[in-house]
Amino acid sequence: MNPQRKGPLVATAGAPSPDSRERDSVARLRAVRHASVVIIGGGINGIATFRDLAMQGVDVVLVERGDFASGATAASSRMIHGGLRYLENGELRLVRESVRERNALLRTAPHFVNPLRTTIPIYSTFSSLIASPMRILRHGPGRRHAERGAAMIKAGLVLYDAFSRDNGAMPRHRFLGRRESLAALPALDPSIKYTATYYDASVHSPERLALDVLLDGIHVHEGAIAVNYVEAIGLDGSSVRLRDVETGLELSIGADVIVNASGPWTDLTNETLGTATSFMGGTKGSHIVLDHPQLLEATGGREIFFEHSDGRIVLIYPLHGRVLVGTTDLEADPSEPAVCTEDEVDYFFDLVRQVFPTIELDRSDIVFTYSGIRPLPRHDDIKPGLVSRDYRIEVDRDRLGSPVVSLVGGKWTTFRALGEALADRVLELLDRPRARSTDGVVIGGGLHYPKRASNREAWIANNLPDLDPARGARLLERYGTRATEVAALLAEGPDFPLVDGALSTREVAYMAKFESVVHVTDVV
Ligand SMILES: Cc1cc2nc3c(=O)[nH]c(=O)nc-3n(C[C@H](O)[C@H](O)[C@H](O)COP(=O)(O)OP(=O)(O)OC[C@H]3O[C@@H](n4cnc5c(N)ncnc54)[C@H](O)[C@@H]3O)c2cc1C
């Protein structure tokens, strides 16, 4: 989705007055005046909390200063994963929760989340066998890097399998020797000793999944309102001061509880709200996307997940016919925009060369780069790669006015469980009981989604009979089974193709009306 937009649009001479340009959603917000909860930040974690509270019947307002899911949420590696690597840091709670949520998402969001076959190339047998268990015994991250050998990876995968099995839904890991590994993936570095293959999952359209979660929240409770391009700019007692980024107009909304879910910007938002905190220590991560058929073929359709020469775990994997390569982990200042630097590109080329030494890359193969800041907790002198990926919730009740609840950390994978934990804290503050759980609740267009490719054709023929099958397939991929709603709107009037038929004029109108698209760059 759209990158952050920092300030209001300036009204120029002859432009319509800001009032006449005010969006209906903002006018509705202005009319509300008071909500039980105001959530600041429309990334996946603010959105998940919004949906959870809406499902409890709580009047909740979510404001996002850019487009929804445009912060860290748009910058992820798209893995819905248990976090094999967190095992060596002893983060057993997080791994258990993550694999549980991963397995659940394969069922509740089958339109966007798919199993991901993952292969680790391994260069040694026993390295790091001492260092990592020591880290686990100390229940925390260590500071030194030692290469991970086969025995250590094997131990991790056995444990991971134990957490992951989900009644046998996910296959167990497999180890292969050098010869078999090279037969399966011939472009791999011939100096490898083994490969280990296991299953995780990936999300092919993270921004659309976030949007589906948001729409579920909006649809389930009339008192749930979410508006993008509205920034929280201050706090007067129990009222959050807001500014419509599009018009520059300000408004205030009272709240019994304020949730700060602004990801890497959490401390900056707290400062805006009048309280200094130092919860966060975000790190920047970048990715490049390559149009490189030879590299695509070399991956064999799998994620190649491995240790780069600096000890960082990096990945190469196929994405929509291209290849995603990531990522870095560098200390970052959230008040500065995150961009992919030339040094990072060199780092990525180097890591591809490490596993696929015969594949030549050129900067002209790069079709896209993106970067974001991970909302990690403050970590002082701990190396970025070893900082906990778990989350915690901080409640400030000492201030005059309503309590402010800050979220510190939180991956993509665990958004539902995190949203539930955060909503529980809010319900406690509101002294309201939980009415229902979000556990196992199917998300948006995942409802009755034909999981098997072989059933999709029949679904399209039965449910989108008036559309050309290729167009039907595109709608099913983009909206899941909500494609029927979109098709109904397409049928209401003349429609013209856009972007070589990938979109159409009426489809964009649908997005503007129902998906809060404000700028062309918000179309996903
Ligand atoms: C490089 C990288 C790779 C990653 N890979 C993975 C992965 O493969 N798997 C995984 O599970 N996780 C991954 N993550 C982590 C994951 O993407 C994030 O932890 C998660 O998306 C955080 O979501 P969030 O909602 O907490 O924060 P964000 O998405 O950053 O949302 C916070 C929002 O708050 C808004 N905001 C800030 N200030 C204000 C204000 N004053 N008023 C209104 N709005 C405001 C921002 O605009 C932003 O949209 C990765 C992260 C990065 C950066």
Tell me which of 41-50, 142-151, 421-430 is least confident.
142-151
pLDDT at residue 141, as a whole number? 44
The residues with which 117 forms a beta bridge, in sequence order, are 199
CA of 373 to the centre of ligand 1 (A): 7
415-430 and 44-55 are packed helices; what angle lies between their axes, rounded to 10 degrees? Answer: 50
Cα 44 to ligand 1 centre (Å) = 7
Cα–Cα dist 156/154, whole Å: 5
Q: What pLDDT sits at residue 284?
A: 96
515 pLDDT higher than 50 = yes
User: Which atom of ligand 1 lies closest to the CA of 373?
Assistant: 53
Report pLDDT for 159.
83
pLDDT digits (tens, 9 = 90+) for 331-367: 999 999 999 999 999 999 999 999 999 999 999 999 9
Q: Where are the beta strands (DSSP E) in 247-391?
A: 250-260, 283-290, 303-307, 313-319, 322-326, 330-331, 366-374
pLDDT at 210: 98
- Interval between CA 343 and ligand 1 midpoint (Å): 24
Q: Which atom of ligand 1 is nearest to the CA of 287?
A: 1
Flag the least confident range among 262-266, 280-284, 379-383. Answer: 379-383
Is residue 198 helix, strand or coil? strand
Instruction: Tell me the average pLDDT of the chain.
Output: 89
From the CA of 501, how far away is ligand 1's center (Å)? 31
Residue 129: pLDDT above 80? no
448-483 per-position pLDDT tens digit:
999 998 899 999 999 999 999 999 999 999 999 999
Residue 391 CA, ligand 1 centroid: distance in Å? 13
Specify the ligand 1 atom closest to the Cα of 48. Answer: 25
Confidence band, pLDDT 50/70/90 cuts, at residue 17: very low
Q: Which residues make beta-bridge pairs with 388?
A: none
Distance CA 145, CA 313 (A): 11
Q: Ligand 1 atom 49: the closest Cα is on which residue?
A: 71
Token pair, residue 433, equals 């009981």
Ligand 1 centroid distance, CA of 487 (Å) = 32
387: left (phi over 0), alpha (psi -120 to 50) or beta: beta
Count of Cβ atoms closer than 10 Å to residue 22 Cβ: 17
Mutate to test the pocket of ligand 1, among 2, 77, 303 (most ligand atoms within 8 A of CB): 77
Residue owning the nearest CA to atom 38 of ligand 1: 262
Among protein residues, the one whose CA lies closest to atom 48 of ligand 1: 71
Nearest ligand 1 atom, CA 283: 53
* CA of 427 relative to ligand 1 center, distance in Å: 24
Given the CA of residue 47, which atom of ligand 1 is nearest to it?
25
For the chain, first and last CA: distance in Å?
7
Q: What is the average per-residue pLDDT within 49-60? A: 98
pLDDT at position 142, please? 42
Distance (angstroms) between ligand 1 centre and the Cα of 101 equals: 18
Is the pLDDT reported for residue 426 higher than 50?
yes
| Residue pair 202/136 in contact by the 8 Å Cβ criterion | no
Pocket test for ligand 1, best of 73, 95, 214, 392 (most atoms within 8 A of CB): 73
Using alpha carbons, select from 109, 104, 50, 42 the residue that is nearest to residue 74. Answer: 42
Find the 321 Cα to ligand 1 centroid distance in Å: 25
Q: What is the DSSP string of 279-307?
A: -B--EEEEEEEE--HHHHHHTTTSEEEEE
- As a whole number of angstroms, the distance between CA 413 and CA 85 comes to 14
Q: Using the predicted structure, report yes or no on whether residue 91 has a pLDDT greater than 50.
A: yes
Cα 334 to averaged position of ligand 1 atoms, centre (Å) = 11
Select the more confidently predicted residue: 139 or 419.
419
- More confident position, 350 or 522: 350
| 338 CA to centre of ligand 1 in angstroms | 12
**DSSP secondary-structure letter at 89?**
G
Q: Where are the domains of the chain?
A: 34-73+207-281+388-430, 283-374, 449-522
CATH superfamily of 34-73+207-281+388-430: FAD/NAD(P)-binding domain (3.50.50.60)
Q: How confident is the model at residue 167 (pLDDT cuts 50, 70, 90)?
A: low
Ligand 1 atom closest to 233 (CA): 41
**Ligand 1: distance of its center to the CA of 374 in Å?**
7
Q: Closest residue (by CA) to atom 1 of ligand 1?
A: 285
CATH number, domain 283-374: 3.30.9.10
Ligand 1 proximal residues by C-beta, below 6 Å: 4, 40-46, 63-66, 70-73, 75-79, 81, 231-232, 261-265, 269, 272, 285, 327, 372-375, 410-413
pLDDT band, very low/low/confident/very high, at 137 (cuts 50, 70, 90): very low
Which atom of ligand 1 is found nearest the CA of 284? 53
- pLDDT score of 140 more than 90: no
Candidate from 374, 387, 393, 418 with most ligand 1 atoms within 8 A of CB, to mutate: 374
Ligand 1 atom at minimum distance from 41 CA: 34
Residue 171: both structure tokens together: 């296959």
Give residue 418 CA to ligand 1 midpoint distance, Å.
13
